Structure 1
Amino acid sequence: MMKRFAFHLASLLALAGCATSEKEVPVEVRIANATPAVHVTARGETTPVGTPNADAADDPAIWRNAANPAASLIVGTDKKAGLYVYGLDGKTRDFLDAGRVNNVDLRDGVAISGHNGILVVASDRNDVANAKLALFRLDPGTAKISALGKVDAGKGEAYGICMYRAAEATYAFIVLKDGTVHQVALDVSGAAPTGKIVRTMKLGTQSEGCAVDDRTGILYVAEEDVGLWRFDARATGSTIATKIAAADGKNLVMDAEGVAIAPIGETDGYVLVSSQGDNAYVAYRLSDDSYVGRFRVVDGKIGGSEETDGIELVLGDFGPAYPGGLFIAQDGHNATAAQNFKLAAWDDIVKALGLPQ
């Protein structure tokens, strides 16, 4: 058996040498060439999205109910159809037909029409020539999501989205397909939402995943075939990017996709990025951008996750199954069903990577 596997792998490696790009290299070879990754298993999963036989599920966001962690909610996109709301049991609590919404993020405690609430923002690509932000309110009591309206976000195809709560405003960063990043100041205090592009940044090629550390005002963006970058998220800050990690086929394998943050203490923690090319996730230390480790969500009682687009991570108590935090990954190959999202415990990831607890 081992001899046959070695011969098969050698054949694949030979094939890889003839490939014109890393994306054409068979996934088995990409995994073999990459830095080894530890394994964790999912503790839960959502029901599949409604669009079958398609690349449809894309990006999750998490709302943690501090008063009742078991009542926390997950918002996930079906980029062909709209937004889902799930409970921690993975069951669908609501669906809103919002069309082609790609990535999603949320912030709690935002003044929406005079009342603090949960603001959900999605990148709207119903018009591929004109990017928009689609804004929603999430009701934590009913788990229902309702549309507030749309805000113009520049010319080009909307891809990634992430939010930033600063002292002066709530912002959304929209990442366009060509690597342009607009920072949009949002105002949802009135009857209809408004927004203004206050700053623009640029990466060289197709980009999507992003996340902002509200504590430090740092924006992290994944340029799919190049690597992971950080920007100053402050509206008055520099627009020059600093590369954290290259998509070198070792620690990070193109496509670099979803991005999430594990904030620890006042300024430390980890930034995680989906190493889509070899079905893995990579952690880098926030304090110095250093490489920390890699992990995969593999088959257990629940299936693993492969070819992950969006990821999200929120630390804190989510009940007995996720006491230290909840990590969610889009699953690009959900057996014979439509795509869905896999739920893993942050405690399991910490233990597998040997991180300090």
Structure 2
Amino acid sequence: MKAVILALLLGGCAATAVAPPSEQAPQLAALAETDPVDTAHDAADDPAIWRNPRDPAASLVIGTDKKAGIHVYDLAGKRVSFTPAARLNNVDLRDMGAKGVVVAASDRADKDVAHVSMFTLDTVARRLVPTGRFRVGSGEAYGMCLWRRARDGALFGFVVLKDGRIDQVAIDLSGAAPKVATVRSMKLGTQSEGCVVDDRTGLLYVAEEDVGLWRFDADPAAPTTATPIARVDRRVLFDDAEGLALAPKGRDGGYLVVSSQGDNAYTLYRLPGVTYAGRFRIGGGAIDGTSDTDGIEMMLGNFGPKYPRGLFVAQDGDNAPDTQNFKYVSWADVLKALGLR
């Protein structure tokens, strides 16, 4: 099965530009880092970003500790609140207007039955308010990403199971508490985790860790066919291919960013055609760099003087002598270093 998948990827990605060797990736300094998580070893996992439109400097970063719960940090990296929860892995959020900022996390507490844990972000108190834990389907929940459909504002989630199955859930916010229902399933051949949805185009991107990147139509009525878009080639993208993030531009352009965990780098692909655009590492500054990164997140916009064009957040798998944490990088620095716009 894996040989077939690799063959499809090689055929489907023949037009991808040839990249330089990974060691040429420039190093960019982190401008801030979060307080370390409370538990040791493999604990911090995935971030999400809420940008405060009225006061960008008061924006917040959410980060999971998959052994203890979920943290909320300010832009200086200081932990401002913590919500205990067992084995939350990936997290995503959407600002739903009158319904508030909705946060969803993949819940691995039951390895036989996947769940989604839901919260709202109290942006004044700077804390998460639990709103329910919902069964999705059999298997261990791993990845998690949200999609707000452009045409009607409907909210959907995608739960990536550890075996490569992807369950799509519809999230109904019309009542006092959310309702979550599984509406379809898709499947990749081997272990997968990172995912992100482009709200503009309704395209779901998923990372199959040892194989490469795939694209699906996010609409629940669409076929479940996966399209290969980039392969793990150990030049541009190393296994494990982990977290995914989007830096959208215009109607369908911008960049897809991937954690190339195997060589401690981050790879950019130019949208909409998903062609190689560059890669970078985090390091070389007063704050230690990152390695073995799982989750990443990216949000454009003004976040204040340090982050005038956007904020990139990456989990750091080795923050010794402290426990793991998350590093903040200016998106303006990424674009400048790679000669991009």
TM-score (norm. length: structure 1):
0.88
Q: CA deviation digits over 1:229-272, x for unaligned, max 9?
A: 11111122221111111111110000000000000011100100
- CA displacement 1:305-342 (0-9 Å, x = unmatched): 10000000000000011010000000001120000000
Q: CA deviation at 1:35?
A: 5.9
Question: Where does residue 5 of structure 1 map in the other structure?
Answer: none
Asked if residue 327 in structure 1 is aligned to residue 312 in structure 2, the reply is yes
Structure 2 Cα separation of the partners of residues 353 and 74 of structure 1:
25
Local SS of the residue matching 1:49: coil
Tell me by how many angstroms 1:116 deviates: 2.1
Instruction: Give the match for residue 151 of structure 1.
Output: 134
Unaligned runs of 5+ in 2: 1-19
1:272 match: secondary structure = strand
> Is 1:150–1:193's contact at 8 Å kept on the other side of the alignment?
no
The aligned runs of 1:333-348 (5 Å cut-off) are: 333-348=318-333
Aligned residue in 2 for 1:90? 77
1:37 aligns with 2:37: no
Displacement of 1:199: 1.4
Match of 1:231 in 2: 216
Give CA-to-partner distance per residue, 1:26-70, whole Å, 9 cap, x none: xxxxxx964631221101110000102x11000000000011000
Instruction: Give yes or no for the alignment of 1:141 onto 2:124.
Output: yes
* 2:91 is the alignment partner of 1:104: yes
Measured after TM superposition, the shift of residue 353 of structure 1 is 0.8
Match for residue 117 of structure 1?
A: 100
1:102 and 1:160 in contact (8 A); partners too: yes
1:289 Cα offset (Å): 1.1
Spell out the pairing of 1:205-216 with structure 2 (5 A cutoff): 205-216=190-201
CA contact (8 A) 2:27 2:284 kept: no
Report 1:145-294 matches (<5 A). 145-166=128-149, 167=152, 169-294=154-279
**d(CA) in 2 for partners of 1:120 and 1:234?**
20
Q: Deviations over 1:159-204 (max 9, x none)?
A: 0000000125200000000000011000133233211111111100
TM-score scaled by structure 2? 0.92
1:26 aligned residue: none
The one-letter code sitting in structure 1 at the alignment partner of 2:136 is A
Of the three residues 276, 279, 303, the one matched with 1:318 is 303
Answer yes or no: is the 8 Å Cα contact 2:132–2:177 preserved in 1. Answer: yes
Shift of residue 76 of structure 1? 0.3
CA–CA distance in 2 between the matches of 1:189 and 1:48? 37
Letter in 2 for 1:41: A
Which letter does structure 1 place at the counterpart of 2:142? Answer: Y
Say whether the 8 Å CA contact 2:268–2:279 is kept in structure 1. yes
- 2:24 alignment partner, SS class: coil
Distance 2:267 2:212 in 1: 11
Q: Aligned pair count? A: 320
1:76 partnered with 2:59: no
Using the alignment, how far apart are the partners of 2:165 and 2:47 within structure 1?
22
User: Deviation string for 1:271-318 (max 9, x for gaps)?
Assistant: 001000000000001111111111000131111110000000000000
Counterpart in the other structure of 1:126: 109
**C-alpha contact 1:149 1:193 (8 A) present in aligned 2:** yes
1:55 corresponding residue in structure 2: 42
The letter of the residue matching 1:316 is G
Greater Cα radius of gyration, structure 1 or 2? 1
Q: 8 Å contact 1:73–1:87 — kept in the other structure?
A: yes
What amino acid is aligned across from residue 81 of structure 1 in structure 2? A
Letter in 1 for 2:280: F
**Aligned equivalents of 1:280 and 1:348: distance in 2?**
15
The answer (yes or no) to whether the contact 1:35–1:251 under 8 Å persists in 2 is: no
